[in-house]
Structure 1
Amino acid sequence: MSTASGTVRVRIDGPDSRHTVLLLQGAGETADVFDAVCERLHNSDLRTVVPESIDSLDTAAVFALLDGLKLPWVHLAGSGAGAELAWAVAAGRFGRFASLVVADRGHPAVPDVDGAVRDASAAAAEVPTTVVIGSGARRAEAAGSMRYVTGEFRVVELDGIDNVPAQAPAEFASAIVLRTGSW
């Protein structure tokens, strides 16, 4: 798929479904990190789109990618740097995304686990949002993100997980599946 920042290779898989999930992995990771997550999403009747790498993606490139794939409405999920990109893409974009699920990253305006604020002026995400954290050390960051979400908000806390999609694919997939339901 071509975007203004170059060509982006994506994996599209799963059943034909009215629900598509765009998964954005961490910097330096390949789409493989989501293999077990995607398998579970496919078993839940969800289609997945995963870029091979997010290294050349920014918010404009994500929208160009979705437009090129003719996907006007998707569920958005990310981990690490992909979660940061997901927050940026979902910010102030009511109606384009059905839900947001991020792993180990709070909203950019909230101090992270090291006390750093990535973007104090970041807009709120206007979608139902779940923050999955692999450690209680990120609890304050996750809970503080609720102020920057205009939809329903949840935190899922796991214990002793360094890379949520790789080490807890069932839990991450479950958080995504729960967001695709209309309950």
Structure 2
Amino acid sequence: MELTEVSVGEVVYSVRMDGPESAHVVVLLPGAGEDGSVFDAVCERLHGSDLRTVVPDTIDGLDVAGLIAVLDGLGLKYVNLVGDREGATLAWEAAARTFGRFKSLVVADGPHPAVAGADCPAVEIPATMVVGGSAARPAADASGRRCYSDFRVVELDGVDSVPRAAAAAFAAEISMRTSMW
């Protein structure tokens, strides 16, 4: 694994990059208070699918402009975006506000911010929302109205942390979204 540091203003973000050199890069954003290790099992599976992964160790203090600055600092122009919980919120915001920068969006347990009343435009890229149980299904379905492209909901029963408890299923959804078939 390659560890890199990227400065955004006065804040320095540690970023883990791993996997084969590939035209397909997946940026994974952990939830608040979690570090990038939440995606270890997911990344291992993605590497087997010939995907390169980029994971900031934290999203604390990161906003859309900061995320774009991190990607610019790494020389990444067009990537697939993944987020878990608060990382999902950041991913929705980035995809909605930065047209032409992201190929696809996969989120876990984080509905589109407008579902909760936040001011956030719709996304215009293919998106998948993975939820850990039926209680989150109504918010997931409402998120579909904020996606002006292909939208899919995957419901997993009784999963409290999609990246940790359902790494294989989550990686499969990410792999499917990175494919342009």
TM-score bracket, normalised by the shorter chain, equals: over 0.9
2:34 paired with 1:35: no
2:8 paired with 1:3: yes
Q: Deviations over 1:19-38 (max 9, x none)?
A: 00000001111111000000
Instruction: Give the Å deviation of 1:5.
Output: 5.0
Residue from 140, 155, 161 that aligns with 1:163: 161
Residue from 150, 153, 162 that aligns with 2:151: 153
Q: Partner residue of 2:107?
A: 102
Please tell me whether the aligned partners of residues 93 and 126 of structure 1 are also in contact (alpha carbons under 8 angstroms).
no
Gaps of 5+ in 1: 111-116
RMSD: 0.9
Instruction: Give the Å deviation of 1:151.
Output: 1.3
Aligned partners of 1:61, 1:164: CA distance in 2, in Å? 25
Aligned partners of 1:118, 1:9: CA distance in 2, in Å? 32
Please tell me whether the aligned partners of residues 130 and 156 of structure 1 are also in contact (alpha carbons under 8 angstroms).
yes
Mean alpha-carbon deviation: is it higher for 83-92 or for 70-79?
83-92
Residue from 114, 125, 128 that aligns with 2:123: 125
> 1:164 is aligned with what amino acid?
V
Instruction: Give the Å deviation of 1:56.
Output: 2.2
Aligned partners of 2:28, 2:178: CA distance in 1, in Å? 14
Instruction: Give the Å deviation of 1:105.
Output: 1.1
Q: Deviations over 1:60-88 (max 9, x none)?
A: 11000011111110000000110011011
More strand by share: 2
Gaps of 5+ in 2: 1-5
> 2:51 is aligned with what amino acid?
L
> 1:58 is aligned with what amino acid?
D
Instruction: Give the Å deviation of 1:133.
Output: 0.4
Q: How does 1:38-49 map to 2 (within 5 A)?
A: 38-49=43-54
Aligned partners of 2:123, 2:170: CA distance in 1, in Å? 19
2:113 counterpart SS class? coil
The percentage of counterpart residues that share the same residue type is: 56
The list of structure 1 runs, each at least 4 consecutive aligned residues, that deviate by more than 3 angstroms after superposition, is none
Aligned partners of 1:67, 1:93: CA distance in 2, in Å? 13
The two structures have a TM-score, normalised by structure 1, of 0.94
2:58 paired with 1:53: yes
2:114 counterpart SS class? coil
Aligned length: 176
More helix by share: 2
Mean alpha-carbon deviation: is it higher for 17-26 or for 3-12?
3-12
